[in-house]
Structure 1
Amino acid sequence: MPNKDGHRRYGSVRKLPSGRYQVRHLAPDGTMRPGDQTFARKTEAERYLTLIEAQMARREWIDPNRGKIRLQDYAERWITERPNLRPRTVHLYRWTLGKHITPHLGGVPLNRIDTPMVREWRSRLLADGVSLTMAAKAYRLLRAILMTAVKEDELIRINPCRVVGADQENAAERPVLTVPQIFALAERMPDRFRALILVTTFGCLRWGEAVALQRQDVDLVAGTVRVRQAFVEHRGTGLILGPPKSRAGVRTIALPKAALPMLKQHVSSHVGEAPEAFVFTGENGRNLWRGNFNKLVKWPEAVAAVGVPGLHFHDLRHTGNTLASRAPGASLRDIMARMGHDSPRAALIYQHANREADQGIADAIDKAVKAARRKPSKRRVKRATEGGGPATEAR
């Protein structure tokens, strides 16, 4: 349709009975479509029509009708259709969605969610007492859902989750145990759980990986443990034994020699002879639940006694990761492989080549353990005494 200047217009602009202006334009299927919004001025409608024409030319135009699906409906489908999600992850996603996202945004069509709306939603969460960490997790979940709507399903043009810093948790720095504290904590555990502390810490293991170890996974001669499975706790279902958290989680880890005597004693006293016997179990031989462990071993009292009140069990892995990262000569890839972390280049590609470096990490940790536990020689004690200073023992 030509305009006043004789140029061909892509569509048309009409004035509605309400006095507002609406555009009509040609869709890729050859039909005329009404615009998805109206304007107070004709010039605004004409600019919008020009924008649509440019999007069509660049093949960036998206049918507004496709984005009318409610966020709640799309998010539920998104979780259901995500490949390879672990049961616990599905549970956490659904819980986060139902608790923090859909009560506020669930009824809004995808194509009506914009950045100011997302910013207001996040601010409301924080005002209602939701922690910064939880708000960041909810924001990242929403962003992932909407990114799929943009890139894979082409329901909306851009992802409205563009709030700077909203994905950052700024969590408090977690404590790192010293080597003497690691052994002191192990000594404060009931006998059958002492080796669990050392293996988890020095092996950089997750809870689910540690309690899923079986006799066949422990090589006391080589001083290694093999991670090939993990337990996941799922409400209503129980303990689910499956693969580790990531592909790189399947790994063999060398332990420092200082941890082996306690592990050998544990295997001899508390582990069945069958290859499938689990290494760490309760008094009744049943598998351990993370939710019951603190009460079982009087964890708050034990960590307070060694000088780290508030320590979480997961901080043992954090401690082990820190010790490993300090090992001389260990590259980033070596550390990531030991931790069982995926990388953009897939940690499994270099996993098989890291055994020698991994043994080096274990040896370096072993030296740190021996140095921290070494008592001063009689000569040093004598010198300290003769010099008038106090004779102290390493702790």
Structure 2
Amino acid sequence: MRYYGPDGLRHNAPVTYERKKDAELALSKLAADIARDDWFDPEAGKVDLGPWGRDWLAERDLAKTTRERYEFAFHGYIEPTFGNRPINEVKEKDVRGWYAGMLDTGAGRPSAAKAYRVLRAMLNTALDDGMIKRNPCRIKGAGDDKSPERPVLSIDEVLRVVDATPPRLRMMVLLATFTSLRIGELAALTRRNIDVSTGFVTVVENQAQLSNGELYLKDPKSAAGRRSVPVPDDLLDELKQHLAEYAEPGEDGRVFVGPKGGKIRRQNFRKIWIKALSKAKVRQVHFHDLRHTGNQFAADDGASLRELMERMGHSSPRAAMRYLHVSKGRSREIAVKLNARLRDARPKPGQDSLGHAEGTEAKKSSEIEGIDSLESGPDLQKHDGGDEGT
């Protein structure tokens, strides 16, 4: 059976019907789909996902690091399973099996979530282009990164690590904690981004690194990423000393450089960081956990959701919300204040509910009742009347 689609072209029916009645029924359904603007070309989806996905990636305007992550997810996880499969033949059960297989074969939850998001984005485009009628990526929560809760260092642990870090890099540890800057933002800082007179550090760029080792500067992820963060007053003298001794000269001079004057590289800095943790006898944590620690310090000290978002450089409250859980210390402080409110409202020992000393209220009441009886009793009325009569 053949029919004319809304594009004006003749199309073959998806199957061959043995009975004329079945063909007429299918034709009626196709006509109804066209009338509802719900028709799609069944031939359009008969394209293998592999070559189509490579074209999809090439057409995207992506940052270098984002493109690298997308390509890794596509070539490493998506293409091996679906590369030779026509797009319109990828079904929900296929996606469920693929996702479970990633986890079963050792892919971490974050890696599986990234790959799932890339496949879902690709098939959303296929849906928009009329290649499929429904996106088969329908696993609830599969695209969410559910990383374990990151550790928070104590202030004593932070200062021990600072002391164990080479002097030229100590300010990196302090600013990562007390201004919540990321390592890429710290590596990109120049003298013009530091205003010691007002005590603010301004983030305008982020240093990124590709898997081949190439370093480059990029804009923050969002407008909120461009921000100015205040430095605690007690760190300003140390910051001035760092700029005088270790930063490159000139307004465009980098604030942080390596021992030999090179740019800060993650893999090189990681070696220094691990050594400092061991020397300070602090458990092994990521450098990025200093940002998490500083955010938690700010939340514990009363920072609002909006203040945390601005400090972190986030436009969405989702990430900031994690720091607003109540710590045990803060919970006890709240309980103490509530207890004081309760104590002030309750009668003191030896007082009744109105605050009177026990045993005095009843006496006062009887005295008042006696006065009332004198004022309104018949003896007083007679006396008043007699006075008035004379």
Aligned partner of 2:4 in structure 1 is 26
- Secondary structure at the residue paired with 1:89? helix
Query: Which whole-Å CA distance do the structure 2 matches of 1:123 and 1:264 have between them?
Result: 53
Q: Which amino acid aligns with 1:336?
A: M
CA contact (8 A) 1:175 1:308 kept: no
* 1:258 is aligned to 2:231: no
Q: Which amino acid aligns with 1:280?
A: F
Query: Which whole-Å CA distance do the structure 2 matches of 1:175 and 1:282 have between them?
Result: 27
Q: What does residue range 318-329 of structure 1 map to in structure 2 within 5 Å?
A: 318-328=292-302
Aligned partner of 1:205 in structure 2 is 181
Decide which structure has greater helix share.
2
Taking structure 1 as the reference length, what is the TM-score of the superposition?
0.74
- Secondary structure at the residue paired with 2:168? helix
Question: Which 10-residue stretch deviates more, 103-112 or 177-186?
Answer: 177-186
| Deviation of 1:96 (Å) | 1.3
Query: Which whole-Å CA distance do the structure 2 matches of 1:343 and 1:123 have between them?
Result: 30
1:340 aligns with one of 290, 298, 313: 313
Aligned partner of 2:52 in structure 1 is 74
What stretches of structure 2 of length at least 5 have no aligned partner? 318-329, 331-390
Aligned partner of 1:378 in structure 2 is none
CA contact (8 A) 2:114 2:143 kept: yes
Q: Which amino acid aligns with 2:294?
A: G
Question: Which 10-residue stretch deviates more, 42-51 or 267-276?
Answer: 42-51
What stretches of structure 1 of length at least 5 have no aligned partner? 1-22, 345-367, 369-395
Aligned partner of 1:225 in structure 2 is 201
Query: Which whole-Å CA distance do the structure 2 matches of 1:48 and 1:339 have between them?
Result: 57
Aligned partner of 1:162 in structure 2 is 138
CA contact (8 A) 1:70 1:107 kept: yes
Query: 1:243-297 deviations in whole A, cap 9, x for unaligned?
Result: 22333211111122233233222112101331111001101111110111121x1
Query: Which whole-Å CA distance do the structure 2 matches of 1:325 and 1:53 have between them?
Result: 60
CA contact (8 A) 1:194 1:262 kept: no
Question: Which 10-residue stretch deviates more, 46-55 or 101-110?
Answer: 46-55
- Secondary structure at the residue paired with 2:229? strand
Q: Which amino acid aligns with 2:103?
A: L
Q: What does residue range 286-365 of structure 1 map to in structure 2 within 5 Å?
A: 286-295=262-271, 297=272, 299-304=273-278, 306=280, 308-328=282-302, 330-343=303-316
CA contact (8 A) 1:149 1:156 kept: yes
Taking structure 2 as the reference length, what is the TM-score of the superposition?
0.75
1:273 aligns with one of 241, 249, 256: 249
Cα 1:45–1:98 shift into 2, 3 Å = farther
| Deviation of 1:37 (Å) | 4.2
Q: Which amino acid aligns with 1:57?
A: A
Cα 1:343–1:104 shift into 2, 3 Å = same
Aligned partner of 2:149 in structure 1 is 173
* 1:188 is aligned to 2:164: yes
Cα 1:159–1:40 shift into 2, 3 Å = farther
- Secondary structure at the residue paired with 1:67? coil
CA contact (8 A) 2:161 2:282 kept: no
Q: Equivalent pairs: percent with the same residue?
A: 39
Question: Which 10-residue stretch deviates more, 258-267 or 136-145?
Answer: 258-267
Aligned residue-pair number: 318
